[in-house]
Amino acid sequence: MKSPWPIKPVLALATFGVMITLPQYIPQWYNWRIYEWAAAPAVLDFQPRTQAERPLEEEMERLKPDTASLKRDESKIADTAGAMEAFYASLLRTERQQGGAVTRVLHYGDSPVTADLITADVRNFLQQRFGDAGHGTYLIAKPWAWYGHRGLDVSAEGWTMNPATLKGEKDGRYGLGGVSFTGSVGAWSRIRLKRDGHTTLKVEYFGQPEGGEVTIDSGEIHIGTLDTALPEAAAVEQSFDIPAEATEFTIRVTRGRARLFGVEFRKAGTGVVYDSIGLNGTWAGVLASHMNGGHWMEELRLAKPNLVVINYGTNESGYRNYIETGYPKDMKEILRRVKTAVPESSVLVMSPMDRGAREGGGTIGTMPLLPQLVAVQSKLAAENGCAFFNTFQAMGGPGTMGRWYMAEPRLVSADFIHPLPSGARIVGTLLYNALMDGYNAYKQRLLRQTMAAAKQETKGQRP
């Protein structure tokens, strides 16, 4: 007798059911879970949301993990040495629009920063308040498929790409952004801006005796020609005026071989530039030893930052030996290089986010070594005269990624490491609020000092 049910579809559905069920009960398969059965009751008990009077704020509160027990100090920047004073002073000049003051931040980080997560939101918040002085640094091409910045895009062909993580350049020169691009005649990049208003395009390159020629065009408009040949090898940058309405630029090698690093887009007037400098899969040792120290320090000097953020630790958090021995040494070298190159700049060590890991019972906890790494970072920052932001505690502490993964909608991907855009915005908001808390406290101190000085002066003038 022929079955009333079609055999193949039934088998397919049964197989699918087994596939999504077994990982719930087999620990070795936890990372392959594609459905959380624990969330089923919440789906069945779904209640539609009412119209919110403050939709954005209420959505952020809904997505944000429970931080009711979080101490207020844990969401602030630790800065007993006044390391952030230079940054706050620059922000104040920018806010007052003094002499075209521009405040520039270099934010170094790993894969989330590579995708401009967290950094894009901080950039947006700062530029909304203090003014938009341009997008900042952007690489010549995509060294990783997920490299990207909000508001920009690039297509390219013909480049040999060497990121500092792989030590592809024997001389250790990778520019400000940590990636070197070498191209012969015909290599090209096309960079598109979603918004106009930029008036300056700066090309960062490596000049050398055998350097080639590069042309920069915007549609039919020729922006300029760059000769990368120099008598002696050196990191150089050259600026070109661009029409404010231009949004697409083609950079092409037209003679010989050229070695480029990145471009920088700037606008006229005061404001903030927030550079997102991410290296996929990176760790502290890359800035400390893979990159030529003298070269990177010269790049920092050319950039003239007011704040340098060092935001590593996620990839290091699984290696106890490195955390206890190699990591402190590498971080000290990074901080030494930055403070030597730009002693007038503030330096902020930013801890990694929580990193989730499956535990024996199937729950999502925190990588065991992560709190230890964060403690080491805090100690190193204090010992080297730097500020410290404890991202891990500010976002909720141990188990946060587990809560984020179970949230609706999810705030982190299935690896419990990389935040989704909504999760990244939470972290970006936490960092921005911490920066503004410090900045407002700085202005209050200045006001008290001014009032005290005025009072003293008045007192001295009395007969």
**Domain assignment present for 297:** yes
**Domain assignment present for 105:** yes
- pLDDT score at 3: 57
Q: What is the mean pLDDT of each run of 10 residues along the chain (463 residues)?
A: 63 69 49 46 38 50 47 80 97 94 97 96 98 97 95 97 96 97 98 97 96 97 97 94 98 98 97 97 96 97 97 96 97 98 98 94 93 98 98 97 95 96 97 98 93 74 63
Residues 285 and 409 in one domain: yes
Residues 235 and 276 in one domain: no
Domain boundary among 245, 268, 291: 268
User: Is the CB of residue 189 less than 8 Å from the CB of residue 156?
Assistant: yes
Say which CATH number the domain at 204 has.
2.60.120.260
Alpha carbon distance 463, 155 (integer Å): 75
DSSP-derived pairing of the beta strands 356-358 and 364-366:
antiparallel
Residues 373 and 234 in one domain: no
**pTM of full prediction above 0.75:** yes
Helix (H) or strand (E) holding 223: strand 221-227
User: Is the CB of residue 168 less than 8 Å from the CB of residue 162?
Assistant: yes
- pLDDT score at 450: 85
Alpha carbon distance 259, 184 (integer Å): 9
| Number of Cβ atoms within 10 Å of the Cβ of 15 | 10
Residues 193 and 277 in one domain: no
**Domain assignment present for 54:** no
Residues 329 and 422 in one domain: yes
**Torsional class of 397: left (φ above 0), alpha (ψ -120 to 50), beta (otherwise):** left
- pLDDT score at 362: 83
DSSP string, 262-321: EEEEE-SSSEEEEEEEE-TT--HHIIIIIS-HHHHHHHHHHH--SEEEEE--TGGGG-HH
DSSP-derived pairing of the beta strands 258-266 and 234-241:
unpaired
User: Is the CB of residue 122 less than 8 Å from the CB of residue 432?
Assistant: yes
CA distance from start to end of the chain: 117
Domains identified in the chain, total number: 2
Q: List the one residue out of 301, 306, 324, 310 whose CA is nearest residue 279.
A: 310
Alpha carbon distance 193, 246 (integer Å): 8
Say which CATH number the domain at 388 has.
3.40.50.1110
Residues 258 and 313 in one domain: no
SS3 label, residue 213? strand
Residues 279 and 413 in one domain: yes
- pLDDT score at 459: 67
- pLDDT score at 139: 98
**Domain assignment present for 11:** no
**Domain assignment present for 332:** yes
Alpha carbon distance 342, 304 (integer Å): 7
Domain boundary among 233, 268, 303: 268
Residues 183 and 231 in one domain: yes
- pLDDT score at 460: 64
Domain boundary among 206, 238, 268: 268
Alpha carbon distance 338, 301 (integer Å): 9
Any residues with CB less than 8 A from the CB of 13 and at least 6 apart, and which? Answer: none
Residues 314 and 457 in one domain: yes
Alpha carbon distance 424, 412 (integer Å): 9
Q: List the one residue out of 362, 387, 304 whose CA is nearest residue 90.
A: 304
Which residue segment(s) compose the domain that 372 sits in? 60-133+271-463
**Domain assignment present for 19:** no
- pLDDT score at 13: 72
Q: How many angstroms separate the Cα of 451 from the Cα of each of 98, 440, 441, 456?
A: 22, 16, 15, 9
**Domain assignment present for 27:** no
Any residues with CB less than 8 A from the CB of 177 and at least 6 apart, and which? Answer: 137, 139, 204, 261, 262, 277
Could you list the beta-strand ranges (E) of 80-121: 102-109
Residues 306 and 276 in one domain: yes
Residues 450 and 303 in one domain: yes
Residues 210 and 327 in one domain: no
User: Is the CB of residue 192 less than 8 Å from the CB of residue 214?
Assistant: no
**Domain assignment present for 45:** no
